[in-house]
Structure 1
Amino acid sequence: MITSRRATAALAVLAGGALLISGCSADRGGSTGGASSGSSSAGTSNATITVAHEQEFNSYNNNTADQNAVQNTVVLNNVLGGFWDFGPDGGVLDDKEFGTVEKTSDDPLTVKYTFNDKAVWSDGQALGCEDMVLAWAANSGKFTSQEKDENGNPLSGFSSAGTTGYEDMNIPQCKAGDKTVTVTYTKVFADWAGMFGAGSIMPAHIVAKNAGVSDLIGAITNNTSDQVAALAKFYNTGFIGKPGTVDKDNWPSSGPYMIDSWQAGQSITLKANPKWWGTPAKTGTIVIRFIDATAQAQALANGEIQVARPQPAQDILKQLQAIGSSVKIDQGDEYTFEHLDFNFQGEFKDANLRKAFALCVPRQQIVDNLIKPVNENATVLNSRYKLAFQEGYQQVVQASYAGQYDQPNIEQAKQLLGGKTGVTVRVGYQTPNQRRTDEVSLIKASCDQAGFNVEDAGQQDFFGNGLAAGNFDVALFAWSGSPLVSSSASTYVTGGGNNNGKYSNPQVDQLTATLLSQTDAAQQDQTIGQIEKVLWDDVATLPIFTFPGLQANSTEVTGPAFQPAQSQQTWNDNEWAVAQKS
Structure 2
Amino acid sequence: MPVTDPIQRTQSSSRSRWPWRIATAGAAAVVLAVTTVACSTEDEPLPSIGYAIDNTVTSYNANTVDGAASGAPQALGRVLPGFGYVGPSGRVVADTDIGTATAMPGEQLTVQYRLSPNSVYSDGVPMSCDDLVLTWAAASGKFTAPDESGAQLNVFDSARRGGYADIERIDCQAGSKDATVVFRQGRGDTDWKSLFGATELLPAHVAARVAGVPDLVGAVNGGDLDAVRRIADFWNTGWTLTPGDLDLTLFPSAGPYRVESYTADEGLVLVANERWWGNRPATDRIVVWPRGTDAAAAAEDGRIQVVDSGEGALRQALNLGEAVDSRTVVSRNLEQLVLATSGVFEAAEARRAFALCVPRMQLFDELGAAGDEDGVSGPVASRLLAPDSPLYPGVVGTASRYAKADVEAARGEREASNQDRMEVRIGYLGPDERRSRTVELIAQSCRDAGIEVVDAGSETFVPSQLSAGDVDAVLAGTAAVAGAGGSADMQRAREALNSAAGSNIGGYTNGRIDEILDALLITGDSATIAGLAAEGEAILWSDMPTVPLFAQPRTVGFAPGMRAAVVNPTTAGAGWNMDRWILGG
| TM superposition score normalised by structure 2 | 0.86
1:242 maps to a residue whose letter is T
CA distance in 2, matches of 1:361, 1:92: 34
SS in 2 for 1:449: helix
Deviation per CA, 1:14-64: give whole Å up to 9, x if none.
xxxxxxxxxxxxxxxxx956986789xxx9978111111233311011111
1:156 maps to a residue whose letter is N
CA distance in 1, matches of 2:298, 2:242: 26
| Mapping 1:173-192, distance limit 5 Å | 173-186=171-184, 187-192=187-192
CA distance in 2, matches of 1:300, 1:140: 42
Change (3 A) 1:295 1:370: farther
* Contact 1:427 1:472 (8 Å CA) reproduced: yes
Query: Of the candidates 537, 544, 550, which is equivalent to residue 555 of structure 2?
Result: 550
Residue 320 of structure 1, CA deviation: 9.9
Partner of 1:162: 160
CA distance in 1, matches of 2:319, 2:262: 28
Partner of 1:517: 522
Deviation per CA, 1:254-291: give whole Å up to 9, x if none.
00000101113651100000000011110000011236
1:405 maps to a residue whose letter is Y
Alignment length, in residue pairs?
A: 539
CA distance in 2, matches of 1:56, 1:515: 32
2:147 maps to a residue whose letter is K
Instruction: Give the CA RMSD over aligned residues.
Output: 2.9
Deviation per CA, 1:65-101: give whole Å up to 9, x if none.
2321241112211000111111232211001111011
Residue 485 of structure 1, CA deviation: 4.5
Change (3 A) 1:337 1:92: same
1:379 aligns with 2:378: yes
* Contact 2:109 2:188 (8 Å CA) reproduced: yes
1:63 aligns with 2:63: yes
SS in 2 for 1:254: coil
Residue 299 of structure 1, CA deviation: 6.8
Query: Of the candidates 473, 493, 496, which is equivalent to residue 491 of structure 1?
Result: 496
Larger displacement relative to structure 2 (365-374 or 160-169) = 365-374
Partner of 1:128: 128
1:470 aligns with 2:469: yes
Partner of 1:25: none
Partner of 1:195: 195
* Contact 2:58 2:70 (8 Å CA) reproduced: no
Partner of 2:169: 171
Partner of 2:112: 112
Residue 465 of structure 1, CA deviation: 6.1
CA distance in 2, matches of 1:217, 1:294: 42
CA distance in 1, matches of 2:295, 2:254: 33
SS in 2 for 1:515: helix
* Contact 2:170 2:179 (8 Å CA) reproduced: yes
Residue 312 of structure 1, CA deviation: 0.8
Residue 522 of structure 1, CA deviation: 4.1
* Contact 1:144 1:154 (8 Å CA) reproduced: yes
Partner of 1:73: 73
CA distance in 1, matches of 2:377, 2:554: 12
* Contact 1:84 1:95 (8 Å CA) reproduced: yes
CA distance in 1, matches of 2:102, 2:314: 48
2:271 maps to a residue whose letter is K
Partner of 2:16: none
Partner of 1:333: 330
Query: Of the candidates 342, 346, 358, which is equivalent to residue 345 of structure 1?
Result: 342
| Mapping 1:72-471, distance limit 5 Å | 72-145=72-145, 147-148=146-147, 150=149, 152-186=150-184, 187-264=187-264, 267-290=267-290, 303-313=302-312, 323-324=322-323, 327-372=324-369, 378-398=377-397, 401-418=398-415, 421-463=420-462, 466-471=465-470
Deviation per CA, 1:396-445: give whole Å up to 9, x if none.
214xx251111111122222233965422212222211111111111111
Residue 470 of structure 1, CA deviation: 3.1
Larger displacement relative to structure 2 (228-237 or 365-374) = 365-374
* Contact 1:559 1:577 (8 Å CA) reproduced: yes
Partner of 2:482: none
SS in 1 for 2:170: coil
Residue 230 of structure 1, CA deviation: 1.0
CA distance in 1, matches of 2:248, 2:293: 30
Larger displacement relative to structure 2 (220-229 or 478-487) = 478-487
* Contact 2:426 2:472 (8 Å CA) reproduced: yes
* Contact 2:463 2:505 (8 Å CA) reproduced: no
SS in 2 for 1:308: strand
Larger displacement relative to structure 2 (249-258 or 358-367) = 358-367
SS in 1 for 2:75: helix
Deviation per CA, 1:106-152: give whole Å up to 9, x if none.
4110100111110001111111121111111111110113x4264x2
Larger displacement relative to structure 2 (91-100 or 170-179) = 170-179
CA distance in 2, matches of 1:512, 1:333: 25
Give ranges in structure 1 of 5+ residues lacking alignment: 1-30
SS in 1 for 2:104: strand
* Contact 2:46 2:582 (8 Å CA) reproduced: no
Residue 487 of structure 1, CA deviation: 2.5
CA distance in 2, matches of 1:452, 1:412: 13
Partner of 2:582: 577
Change (3 A) 1:36 1:394: farther
Change (3 A) 1:32 1:346: farther
* Contact 1:165 1:191 (8 Å CA) reproduced: yes
1:566 aligns with 2:577: no
Deviation per CA, 1:447-487: give whole Å up to 9, x if none.
11111122222222221662342321222111122122432
CA distance in 1, matches of 2:426, 2:90: 31
CA distance in 1, matches of 2:100, 2:248: 28
Deviation per CA, 1:294-317: give whole Å up to 9, x if none.
987x97687331111122149959
Deviation per CA, 1:480-503: give whole Å up to 9, x if none.
221224323321121321111111
Give ranges in structure 2 of 5+ residues lacking alignment: 1-29, 479-484
Change (3 A) 1:149 1:73: farther
Change (3 A) 1:68 1:369: same
SS in 2 for 1:66: helix
1:532 maps to a residue whose letter is E
SS in 1 for 2:66: coil
* Contact 1:128 1:180 (8 Å CA) reproduced: yes
CA distance in 2, matches of 1:198, 1:213: 25
Residue 347 of structure 1, CA deviation: 2.0
2:188 maps to a residue whose letter is V
| TM superposition score normalised by structure 1 | 0.86
Residue 571 of structure 1, CA deviation: 0.8
* Contact 2:352 2:544 (8 Å CA) reproduced: yes
Partner of 1:24: none
* Contact 1:35 1:557 (8 Å CA) reproduced: no
SS in 2 for 1:481: coil
SS in 2 for 1:503: coil
* Contact 1:243 1:265 (8 Å CA) reproduced: no
